[in-house]
Structure 1
Amino acid sequence: MNHINHTWTQSFVLAGFTITGIWQPLAFLGALCIYLLTLVGNLLIIGLIQADSGLSTPMYFFISVLSFLELWYVSTTVPTLLHTLLHGHSPISSAACFIQLYVFHALGMSECYLLGVMALDRYLAICRPLHYHALMSRQVQLWLAGATPVVGFSAALVPASLIATLPFCLKEVTHYFCDLAPLMRLACVDTGWYDQVHIVVIGMINACNLGVILGLYGAILRAVLKLPSAASRAKAFSICSSHITVVALFFGSAFIVYVVLPGIQAEGMDKLIALVYALFTPFFNPIIYTLRNKEVKEAVKRVTQRIKTMLKGPEDW
C-alpha cells in the first residue's frame, strides 16, 4: 500500500530577496535606516502628544495609539527582513514562524479597526460637533482603544491556527517573513478550503471595516460641502486628508497582496508590495500626520521652548 509522504516540518527557510554584489549592503543599510527612522518618528509622536496639552484631544489620542501599534507592527517583520538581506536564506523554527504570522496579522487587523475608530472620531467631530465631547469622552476613548487589539488578536487566531495545522512538504518560504500565501504554497494538501476561510475572516472583516470608513467619510463630505465658508471647508478637509491618505496606503496595498495577487498566482510580487504596508506605511505615517499639521508644528515649538528653558543654567534665568 502506498503512503503519501507528508512532512510536518520543524523549521522553514525564509528566502527573502535575491540581491547580490554592492546592492546587498546598500539594501540592508536602507532598510535599517527606514526601520530606525520609523521607530524614532512614532516614538516622537507619542512623546509629543503626551508632553503637550494642546494635543490632548481624541484625534491625537488615537494617533498616539496608532503610532504605538506601528512600533510593534514594523518590528514584527523588519528584523527578519534585515537578516535575510544580510545573510540570504534564513532558517526560522515553525513555532517562531507561526507566532510571527499570528502577531503580524493581529496587529494588522488591530490597525484596521483603529482606522475605523479614527474615522468615527472625525465623523462625530464634524457632523455632531455639539455632542462630540460627550460622545467621545475619555472613558469612551479608552474603551475604543482597548477594544481594538482585543478584536484584532481574536480575529487573527482563526487563520493562524488553521495554517499551523497544515502538513508541509516544502520548507523554503518565498518571502522575507511568514505570511499566509507563501506558507500555503508549501502545504502537502489542497488549501482551497483554507483560502475560503481566510477570505471570510480577513477579507470580509476588513472589507466591512473599509465600507464603514467610506460610509463615514461620505457623511463627512456631505456635511463639509454644506459649510458656509471656503475657509471652514478647507480646514475640515485638511483635518481628514491625513487619515484618508493612511487608509488608502494601508488598505490599497493589503488588497493587492491578499486579493489580487493570489488570483493571478503572482509569486514573488507579494513580498515587494508587502514592503509598502509592512515597512513604508509605518515610516510615512508620522510624516503624513505632522508635515502639514499646524497644531503639531506649534506643539513642537512649545515643547522645544520648554526643553530649552529647562536646560538653561541658573545664570541664564
Structure 2
Amino acid sequence: MMRSNQTTTVTEFLFSGFPLFEDGSILFFIPLFIIYIFIVIGNLIVFFAIWIDTRLHNPMYNFISIFSFLEIWYTTATIPKMLSNLISKQRTTSMIGCLLQMYFFHSLGNSEGILLTTMAIDRYVAICNPLHYPTIMTPRLCAQLSAGSCIFGFLVLLPEIVWISTLPFCGPNQIHQLFCDFGPVLRLACTDTSVILIEDVIHAIAIIFSVLIISLSYVRIITVILKIPSADGRQKAFSTCAAHLSVFLMFYGSVSLMYLRFSTTFPPVLDTAIALMFAVLAPFFNPIIYSLRNKDMKTAIKKLLCPQKVFNASSSKC
C-alpha cells in the first residue's frame, strides 16, 4: 500500500470535536459536566444505599450495586477527556492514552453487558423457580458471577488491544469520534482495513448473544407473571423486573446503534448523538431508573441521605 511507504510515525491522535459546537464549546461543557457529576454521585448513592441497608443484601441488589460501581468508571473513561476537549485548543491524546481509553471503556462496557445478562438469569430463577432460588443463587455463586463478569470483561479485550498497539500508524491522525474507539482508530492504521469487519463481527456476535439470552429470559418471566392470579402479585413481580428491563433496553439499544451497523456511515452530527447516548445519556438515566422504580431502593436511599427521618417518624426534615 502507498501509505506503508511513508516514514512519518503517528505518536498522538487528534479528536475531530463536537459538530455544531465549535464556537460554543463552553455552552456544551457546562451541561456535560453537570451530567457527569450527577452520574458519579447518583451511582455512589445507589451503591452505598444497598451496602448500608441489610435488607437489600440479596443477589439482585448486589448485582445492581456492582453495576452502579462499574458505571462510575465506565463514564470516567471517556467524559473527562470530552470535557477537556471542549475547553482545550489542543484536542489530542497520546497513542498510549488512546489505547488505555479504548481498553478501559470497552472492558467496563463488556463487564456491564455480562452483568446485565447475569441479572436477567437471576430474575428468571427468582420468578420462574422461586422454591429453588435460595439454593441456586447462593452468596458464593453471586460473588463468583460478579467477579467472573468483571474478570472476563477485562481479559477478553487484552489480545485485541495488544494487537492494535503493534499496528503501524503513519497518518492521518484525526479520530472522527468523541473518544478513542476501535473502528475510528483502526481506520487510521497503515495496513489492511478488512480487520475492521472482523472486529465488527466479534462485537455483533457478543451483543446478539447477550440480547438473545436476556430476551428469552424475560419472555419466560413475563409469561409466568401473567399467570399470577392476584393483581398485587403481578404488580410486585413486574416492579422487581421493570428497572432491570429498562436499563437493559437503554444499554443494548444504544450499543446496537453504535456497533451493529457494520460499514454503514452516519452524518457527523448523528454519529455524535449516538456516541453521546451510548457513553453519556444511558449511564445518566440508570441511577434514576433504579431509585425511582423500586420502593425498597427509595427507602434505602432515604435511609442513607436522611437517617434521622427514618428513625424519627415525627421529624419532617433532615
TM-score (norm 2): 0.90
Name the residue aligned to 1:155. 156
1:293 is the counterpart of 2:315:
no
Deviation at 1:309, TM superposition (A): 8.5
- Amino acid in the other structure paired with 2:93: I
Aligned partners of 1:6 and 1:221: how far apart in 2? Answer: 60
- Amino acid in the other structure paired with 2:59: P
Name the residue aligned to 1:255. 256
Name the residue aligned to 2:221. 220
Name the residue aligned to 1:136. 137
Name the residue aligned to 2:280. 279
1:74 is the counterpart of 2:97:
no
Aligned partners of 2:255 and 2:43: how far apart in 1? Answer: 21
> Unmatched 5+ residue regions in structure 2?
313-318
- What secondary structure does 2:244 align onto? helix
Aligned partners of 1:176 and 1:88: how far apart in 2? Answer: 15
Aligned partners of 1:174 and 1:36: how far apart in 2? Answer: 26
Cα gap change, 1:303/1:80 in structure 2, threshold over 3 Å: closer, same or farther?
A: closer
Aligned partners of 2:311 and 2:133: how far apart in 1? Answer: 36
In 2, are the aligned partners of 1:15 and 1:89 still within 8 Å (CA)?
no
Name the residue aligned to 2:49. 48
Cα gap change, 1:20/1:140 in structure 2, threshold over 3 Å: closer, same or farther?
A: same
Aligned partners of 1:273 and 1:177: how far apart in 2? Answer: 12
- Amino acid in the other structure paired with 2:216: G
- What secondary structure does 1:159 align onto? helix
Name the residue aligned to 1:315. none
- Amino acid in the other structure paired with 1:265: T
- Amino acid in the other structure paired with 1:91: T
Cα gap change, 1:234/1:6 in structure 2, threshold over 3 Å: closer, same or farther?
A: farther
In 2, are the aligned partners of 1:7 and 1:167 still within 8 Å (CA)?
no
In 1, are the aligned partners of 2:46 and 2:301 still within 8 Å (CA)?
no
Aligned partners of 1:187 and 1:138: how far apart in 2? Answer: 46
Aligned partners of 2:138 and 2:7: how far apart in 1? Answer: 55
Deviation at 1:166, TM superposition (A): 2.4
Deviations 1:85-131 (A, max 9, x none): 11244111101111111111111111100000110111111011111
Deviation at 1:196, TM superposition (A): 3.2
Aligned partners of 1:133 and 1:290: how far apart in 2? Answer: 25
Deviation at 1:264, TM superposition (A): 2.0
Name the residue aligned to 1:107. 108
Cα gap change, 1:235/1:98 in structure 2, threshold over 3 Å: closer, same or farther?
A: same
- What secondary structure does 2:215 align onto? helix
In 1, are the aligned partners of 2:254 and 2:277 still within 8 Å (CA)?
yes
Cα gap change, 1:7/1:208 in structure 2, threshold over 3 Å: closer, same or farther?
A: farther
Deviation at 1:278, TM superposition (A): 0.9
1:16 is the counterpart of 2:12:
no
- Amino acid in the other structure paired with 2:66: V
Q: How many residues align?
A: 307
Cα gap change, 1:106/1:300 in structure 2, threshold over 3 Å: closer, same or farther?
A: closer
Instruction: Please say which of residues 239-248 and 62-71 is displaced more in the overlay.
Output: 239-248
Deviation at 1:7, TM superposition (A): 4.0
In 1, are the aligned partners of 2:258 and 2:278 still within 8 Å (CA)?
no
Aligned partners of 2:56 and 2:224: how far apart in 1? Answer: 24
Aligned partners of 1:300 and 1:72: how far apart in 2? Answer: 21
Name the residue aligned to 2:266. 266
Instruction: Please say which of residues 111-120 and 159-168 is displaced more in the overlay.
Output: 159-168
Out of 181, 196, 209, which is 1:179 matched to? 181
Deviation at 1:53, TM superposition (A): 1.4
Deviation at 1:186, TM superposition (A): 1.5
In 2, are the aligned partners of 1:159 and 1:201 still within 8 Å (CA)?
no
RMSD of equivalent CA atoms: 2.1
Name the residue aligned to 2:124. 123
- Amino acid in the other structure paired with 1:255: S
Name the residue aligned to 1:238. 239
Cα gap change, 1:16/1:37 in structure 2, threshold over 3 Å: closer, same or farther?
A: same
Q: Percent identity?
A: 38
Deviation at 1:161, TM superposition (A): 2.8
